């Protein structure tokens, strides 16, 4: 079977047969086991997995050539890696329900509400920052539980539940903020997110990186992650194998709520203020990064490293275009286009096996 798939057929087939296995990153033994006969397949596999990082590198080179004075600077890279850590964190959270086969469209609403909790209570009411952080995180968990409640008890599609929840939360944010921006968020929070740097990059980048490692580890190396994968790509199989499917789905929504709230805290820290609508912009880039990430590193699966690469690729593209003088419209066009193309590419590489994972 395997050999038949290799010879004389196009890249599509080769990508389709790609074992997006756990082992690829985890286990060298596998490459040996694959044997010498599949050399060509390994090359096309490698290209498929590495397409996004390669394009990312190309984009960096192109912008550096076009704007040698402004683009390849510590300042620009610091901005790209630091400020967009919020996007990476919210996307990694989103990845958990996606891996379980469910959408969570409320992450941007949770993020915005969480940042406004910080702005209103800390910036406005001068409540101790750590208490505000705890409240924001608790609200994130609460949102996840509420989403999970409707999904599990009423059996509603999470797409709809979280779509409503996201809009509901934006409304609540407007309510508690009285439609105002709250500045004066604790300098301590600003310090540990944006101001303090390591190797010229704000600390929050390293938090995002650490979170990526945790998500990767749980997804690929724990029994929990393996079960989550089956809930997403073979729900009835998982159920019949004794996996508590509904519990896993609720848990995934709770994790995405918690991480969206964490992203909101960092968002407030990074900007030193909370704006009642700014957070809602994160929804589309988060989905674009998650889906584009699902086509790379381990094609066909939502995966942590692919996501972080995709997120920074998208941000690099937008930043570079803005340095070239593009207007603000370019951001929405870029993210929207990337989402659709990423999904189209994922579909193409899977051939006829539609809607299995992504």
Partner 1 sequence: MAEATTSGPLLEIEGLSKSFGSTQALDRAWLKVMPGRVHGLVGQNGSGKSTLVKVLAGYHDPDPGARIVIGGREVTHTLGGGGSRANGLYFVHQDLGVVGALSVAENLFIDRFVDQPKAWVRWRAEHAKASELLASFGVRVDPRRKMAELPVAVQAMVVIVRAAERLRAGSPESGDRGGVLVLDEATASLPLAARDQLQSVVRAVVALGHAVLFVSHFPDEVLEWADHVTVLRDGRVVADRETQGMTEDELVELIIGRQMEPHQGVVVPASSGGSTSSMVVTGLTGQEVDGLSFAVQPGEVLGLTGLVGSGFDEVARILGGASVARAGEMVLDGRRWDLTAFSPAAARKAGVSLVPDDRHRLGVAPALTVSENISLSVLDRYRGVAGRIKHRRLRQEVRRLLADYDVRPPDPDLPLRSLSGGNQQKVVIAKAMAGAPRVLLLDEPTKGVDVGARSEILEKLRDVARAGTAVVCSTTDASQLEDLCDRVLVLRRGRLCAELTGEAINEDRIVEETYSSVV
Instruction: Give the separation between CA 218 and CA 222, rounded to whole angstroms.
Output: 5
Q: Which of 241, 324, 332, 337 binds partner 1 (CB under 8 A)?
A: 241
Closest approach, Cβ 18 to partner 1, in A, equals 8
Closest approach, Cβ 247 to partner 1, in A, equals 11
CB closer to partner 1, 46 vs 130: 46
Closest approach, Cβ 258 to partner 1, in A, equals 18
Q: Which residues pair with 274 in a beta bridge?
A: 182
Closest approach, Cβ 342 to partner 1, in A, equals 18
Q: Which of 86, 243, 260, 274 binds partner 1 (CB under 8 A)?
A: 243
Is residue 226 involved in binding partner 1 (CB under 8 A)?
A: yes
CB closer to partner 1, 234 vs 336: 234
Closest approach, Cβ 101 to partner 1, in A, equals 11
For residues 10 to 49, the per-residue mask of contacts with partner 1, x marking binding by CB under 8 A and - elsewhere, is: -------xxxxxxx--xx-xx--xx---------------
Q: Which of 223, 325, 328, 329 binds partner 1 (CB under 8 A)?
A: 223
Element spanning 235, H or E: helix 235-240
Query: In 3-state terms, what secondary structure has residue 276?
Result: coil
Instruction: Give the separation between CA 194 and CA 234, rounded to whole angstroms.
Output: 41
Q: Which residues pair with 197 in a beta bridge?
A: 202
Whether 18 and 48 have beta carbons less than 8 Å apart is answered as yes
Whether 320 and 124 have beta carbons less than 8 Å apart is answered as no
CB closer to partner 1, 17 vs 88: 17
- Among 79, 111, 107, which Cα is nearest to 264's? 111
Torsion angle in degrees (nearest 10) through CA of 301, 21, 48, 64: 70
Instruction: Give the separation between CA 278 and CA 274, rounded to whole angstroms.
Output: 8
Q: Which of 240, 333, 340, 344 binds partner 1 (CB under 8 A)?
A: 240
Cα distances (angstroms) measured from residue 330 to each of 163, 222, 254, 283, 325: 25, 40, 33, 16, 10
Closest approach, Cβ 7 to partner 1, in A, equals 14
The residues of the shown chain that bind partner 1, judged by CB under 8 A, are 1-2, 5, 17-23, 26-27, 29-30, 33-34, 218, 221-224, 226-227, 229-230, 233-234, 236-244, 300, 350, 353, 356-357
């Amino acid at each position: 079977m395997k050999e038949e798939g290799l010879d004389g057929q196009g890249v599509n087939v080769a990508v389709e047969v790609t074992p997006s296995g756990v082992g690829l990153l985890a286990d060298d033994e596998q490459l040996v086991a694959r044997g010498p006969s599949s050399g060509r397949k390994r090359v096309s596999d490698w290209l498929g997995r590495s397409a996004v990082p390669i394009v990312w590198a190309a984009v960096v080179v192109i912008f550096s050539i076009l704007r040698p004075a402004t683009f390849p600077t510590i300042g620009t890279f610091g901005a790209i890696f630091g400020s967009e850590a919020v996007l990476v964190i919210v996307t990694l959270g989103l990845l958990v329900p996606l891996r379980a086969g469910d959408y969570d469209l409320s992450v941007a609403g949770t993020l915005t509400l969480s940042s406004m909790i910080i702005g209103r209570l800390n910036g406005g009411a001068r409540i101790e920052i750590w208490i505000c952080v705890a409240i924001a995180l608790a609200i994130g968990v609460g949102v996840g539980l509420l989403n999970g409640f409707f999904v599990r008890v009423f059996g509603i599609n999470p797409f709809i539940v979280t779509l409503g929840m996201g809009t509901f939360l934006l409304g609540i944010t407007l309510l508690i903020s009285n439609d105002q921006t709250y500045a004066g968020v604790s300098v301590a929070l600003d310090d540990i997110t944006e101001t303090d740097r390591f190797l010229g990059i704000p600390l929050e980048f390293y938090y995002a990186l650490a979170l990526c490692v945790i998500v990767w580890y749980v997804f690929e190396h724990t029994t929990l992650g393996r079960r989550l994968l089956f809930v997403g790509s073979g729900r009835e199989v998982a159920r019949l194998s004794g996996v508590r499917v509904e519990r896993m789905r609720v848990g995934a929504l709770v994790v995405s709520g918690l991480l969206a709230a964490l992203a909101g805290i960092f968002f407030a820290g990074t900007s030193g203020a909370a704006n009642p609508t700014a957070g809602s912009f994160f929804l589309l880039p988060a989905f674009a990064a998650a889906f584009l990430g699902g086509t790379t590193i381990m094609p066909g699966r939502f995966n942590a490293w692919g996501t972080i690469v995709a997120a920074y690729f998208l941000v690099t593209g937008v930043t570079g275009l803005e340095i070239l003088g593009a207007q603000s419209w370019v951001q929405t066009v870029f993210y929207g286009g990337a989402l659709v193309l990423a999904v189209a590419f994922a579909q193409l590489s899977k051939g006829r096996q539609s809607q299995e994972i992504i």
